[in-house]
Amino acid sequence: MAALMQVDIVSPEKILFSGEAEGVRCRTTEGDIMFLAGHAPFLGALGTAELAVALSDGSHLRYDVSRGFVEVRDNAVIVLTDHAEELTA
């Protein structure tokens, strides 16, 4: 079983996701990045793109995010976005 980390995805309207996950992939203004458990501290500005959360059961949650910030510290990823909506398959 892969190591897990806390993930919170928050927009001004609501909390889109709060729970444990194996990883988070997103696009910052500097390029795409993947965060896994134990990642070094990180702070970056989000671009407009898809953000994916890898859950421990092998499924993925996908969100369309527009601008904001991502912070990684203490085995947690916090995404604060201006706008986000869940994408369906």
Q: What is the pTM of this model?
A: 0.93
Q: Are 7 and 76 in contact (CB under 8 A)?
A: yes
**What pLDDT score was predicted for residue 2?**
76
Domains observed in the chain: 5-87 (2.60.15.10)
Average pLDDT, the chain: 95
What is the rounded CA–CA span in Å between residue 61 and residue 82? 18
Using a pLDDT cut of 90, give the percent of the chain over it: 94
Give the pLDDT score at 79. Answer: 98
- Candidates 3, 76, 72, 5; CA nearest to 40 is 72
DSSP letters of 18-50? EEEESEEEEEETTEEEEEETTPPPEEEEE-SEE
- Give the pLDDT score at 89: 62
Give residue 1's pLDDT: 59
